[in-house]
Amino acid sequence: MSETLVIIPTYNELSGLPKIVGRLRQVLPAADLLIVDDSSPDGTGELADQLASKDSAIEVLHRDAKQGLGRAYLAGFSLAIDKGYQFIVEMDADGSHDPAELIQMLELAESGADLVLGSRWVPGGSVANWPWIRRFISKSGNRYARWVLNSRIRDLTSGFRIYRAQTLRRISLDSVSSQGYCFQIELAWRAERRGMTVIEHPIRFVERVDGKSKMHAGIVAEALLKVTWWGISRRRP
């Protein structure tokens, strides 16, 4: 068994999934892969099963209904911890994250970082092909969260990251309630507040070419409300 597990959550990613799996297997042949599918109506789950039947490093977790990115990751994390993986990677299925960046990110994790964030908003990081409105939401949302939470992290919402298993054990996953972007903010902030080493590694994020975004106003609203509440109450998350 590898010591690294890459978790890819999927919902209707039929066209993008085989591409990202192919790219990942090419650059990180030693890593294992867990696809967490929420019963995608387009057949992504069946496609994932086909990929897994041809490659023993791939496993699929099928969930009954769409419950959001946060729930899918929590299920994946608990499987990863139970199986004894050391490094647990979060990556989107839509091609926005380049698996080749994981080589340097894993080096940072191996040399001691508790959480490595693939970051768009640090010097050297970038976003390709995003309309101005997406840039605006991501940049201003991150700036707001950073200020309200008194955080040093510039890309709190990044969905491309590596946790040490120990980090996930220490941030009490049982009490995490957030779903979308807010899930990413909550976990990064928990790690930071517990004094763990969070390193931001600049990445180039590319707008998805296949499939449809699952982003919607509710996800932004959840993040705004929760972040504001955490900031005001200054409760330890």
Coil, strand or helix at 40: coil
Q: How far is 79 from 63, CA to CA, in rounded Å? A: 13
Question: Per CB under 6 A, which of residues 47..106 are in contact with ligand GTP?
Answer: 66-69, 72, 92-94, 96
Q: How far is CA 187 from the centre of its chain?
A: 10
Residue nearest to ligand GTP (CB): 213
Name which of 4 and 158 has its Cβ closer to Mg ion: 158
Token pair 């508790």 in the structure block, residue: 114
Asked whether the beta carbons of 182 and 190 are under 8 A apart, the reply is: no
Contact 11, 37 (CB under 8 A): yes
Q: Which of 5, 6, 7, 11 binds ligand GTP (CB under 6 A)?
A: 11
Residue nearer to ligand GTP on the CB measure, 10 or 196: 10
- What is the rounded distance in angstroms from the CA atom of residue 74 to the CA atom of residue 119? 21
Give the per-residue contact string, 190-229, with ligand GTP (x = CB under 6 A; - = no).
------------------x----xxx--------------
Given the complex with ligand GTP, which of 138 and 151 has the nearer CB atom?
138
- Cβ nearer to ligand GTP, comparing 60 with 168: 60
Where on the chain is the footprint of Mg ion (CB under 5 A)? 92, 94, 96
Minimal CB distance residue for Mg ion: 94
DSSP string, 204-226: EEE--SSS-----HHHHHHHHHH
Closest CA to 180 of 201, 158, 199, 164: 158
Q: Which is nearer to Mg ion, 90 or 114 (CB)?
A: 90
* Residues in touch with ligand GTP (CB under 6 A): 9-11, 13, 36-38, 66-69, 72, 92-94, 96, 159, 208, 213-215
